[in-house]
Amino acid sequence: MHNNPRIEKEKMQKRIIAVDFDGALLKHRPFELAHKRWFELFSELLKDSSLKRYGTLKDYFPKVEEIMQRYLGDIAAEDKIRFARDVFAMVMVAEARQDDLVMDFADYLKSIKKSHALALITTAPEGSARPILEKLGCNELFDMIDESPLTHKPDKKKMFKEFMRKYGKPEFYIGDGDEHITACKELEIRTISVNWVSKARIKGDHDIKSVKELAKIIELQA
């Protein structure tokens, strides 16, 4: 994040549009594949092919903790999580490619950058979002980038609270209709669930299928 007081003041004067990474700006592929590759790697290191089946679990973190205990032994829990998430971050950055980017959404965000402060709020491990954005030619797209700490299990609601403490409440949070929408609603952040990568399981205050619909919603707030 920028620390220049002048830049911070300029951002605070703009309305904030917050965006999720997985399923909004990017397709699911690099995230899903990184999970799969992570479990494949440790199945090889521990010589246990049964671990591969955990790569598609939705609630994967308990298995990560089990595997880290087997691989690293009795070291501090935070060190185990950091190691696991560091590996995941490296794999995710390696897997990301240009056609994972939702291009028309990225182009739209670029078009409103002068009038809005753009924030990426993602549970991706700290240090992974910027290299991915660099690979995809979007390194200057966001004014603020919030990633989850390497030493803790991802918690989007805590991230939203911390973000609002620093910058104030976003005008909208744009996500793919997962449980992060619920976290926003609990914090009274207006939400837009998007369906251009996958069908939203949890509907936002607005539920849309195209960037054109999004543009109309944002324009109404001008």
Q: Pairing mode, if any, of strands 116-125 and 191-194?
A: unpaired
What residues make up the domain containing 52?
A: 31-95
Query: What pLDDT was estimated at residue 83?
Result: 97
Are 110 and 80 part of one and the same domain? no
Give residues with Cβ within 8 angstroms of 186, minimum separation 6.
157
Give residues with Cβ within 8 angstroms of 97, minimum separation 6.
30, 135
CA distance 35 to 37: 6
Q: Give per-residue pLDDT as tens, 169-186.
A: 999 999 998 889 999 999
Give residues with Cβ within 8 angstroms of 10, minimum separation 6.
none
Are 125 and 193 part of one and the same domain? yes
Helices and strands, number each (H, E), in the chain? 9, 6
Q: Give per-residue pLDDT as tens, 117-152.
A: 999 999 999 999 999 999 999 999 999 999 999 999
pTM: 0.91
How far from the centroid of its chain's Cα atoms is residue 221's Cα?
A: 25
Query: What pLDDT was estimated at residue 1?
Result: 46
Are 201 and 118 part of one and the same domain? yes
Are 173 and 195 part of one and the same domain? yes
Q: Give per-residue pLDDT as tens, 42-85.
A: 999 999 999 999 999 988 999 999 999 999 999 999 999 999 99
